[in-house]
Amino acid sequence: MNDLVSVITPAYNSARYIGETICSVLSQTYEQWEMIVVDDGSEDETASVVTGFDEKRIRCIRHSEKRGVAEARNTALRYARGRWIAFLDSDDLWEPQKLERQLDFMQEHGYGFSYTNYIEVDEAAQPTGRLVTGPRHIGKRLMYGYCWPGCLTVMYDTQLTGLIQTADINITDDYAIWLKVVQKADCYLLSETLGRHRCRSGSLSHRSVFYKTACHYRLFRCVEGHNAIVAIGMTFVNLVMGLMKKILYVKKV
């Protein structure tokens, strides 16, 4: 399984978008992948759309009730068989060369953790004119400063990290994973635009700044185990770094 990439896809009421997401994986030039979709108690036809694809590399696992995106990712990670883990949410999209280019990049340089640029698209998958990138090299200190990688762009090597499981803390669930991975490997940017992030009204990523701040505090206080003063300080640093990202790493295209 050294060449296998496990694609982790949590899904909840995603019937409208997940077919297009799956098609972007089927279009990959790199063919050694498996896609694990965890239907987190959806009330729509999400599972039917997934199982409607006649593709043995795609597995659909169903939660009987909604447990949250962290538990959905945890379930998928437990079932993953690949050495390499990649993430793709149920409404996002990859460019066809994404897996091939990123895996080549990591193997060529001996990296265990990487991410790429991505563009933002609207609900109809039309570009909004914004490209998101980040620092070339992210070590522990910089990763604790802010969640720089977009979830749909990340890949890591399980030979370095082992199985990762995280607590349910809403919008910072992916960040909690990166903080665990960066303990084992620094993160490096492949500066190519290989993903399309769908911006949807009402999604978790569009919650208010106060809600996001509370979630970051909870991450540092309850999950990372820092005392209240340290957690407040780290949350403040995240706010500052978030502004810096918008200035330095979000570009008009």
Q: Please give the CATH number for the structural domain made up of 5-200.
A: 3.90.550.10
For 205, list phi and psi in degrees, rounded to 5.
-70, -10
Query: What pLDDT, on the 0 to 100 scale, is given for residue 120?
Result: 98
- In this model, does residue 71 exceed pLDDT 60? yes
Where are the domains positioned within the chain? 5-200
Structure tokens at 223: 């999950």
Terminal Cα-to-Cα distance of the chain (whole angstroms): 38
- Residue 239's alpha-carbon distances to 15, 101, 245, in angstroms, are 34, 32, 10
DSSP sequence for 92-121: -EE-TTHHHHHHHHHHHHT-SEEEEEEEEE
What is the rounded distance in angstroms from the CA atom of residue 62 to the CA atom of residue 175? 24
Mean pLDDT for all residues in the chain: 94
* Confidence class for position 211, pLDDT limits 50, 70, 90: confident
Query: What pLDDT, on the 0 to 100 scale, is given for residue 51?
Result: 96
What is the per-residue pLDDT across 136-191, written as a single tens digit (0 to 9) for each? 999 999 999 999 999 999 999 999 999 999 987 767 889 999 999 999 999 999 99
Nearest residue to 144 via CA among 170, 173, 179, 187: 179
- Amino acid type, 215: C
pLDDT > 70: percent of the chain: 96
* DSSP run (H or E) holding 159: helix 158-161
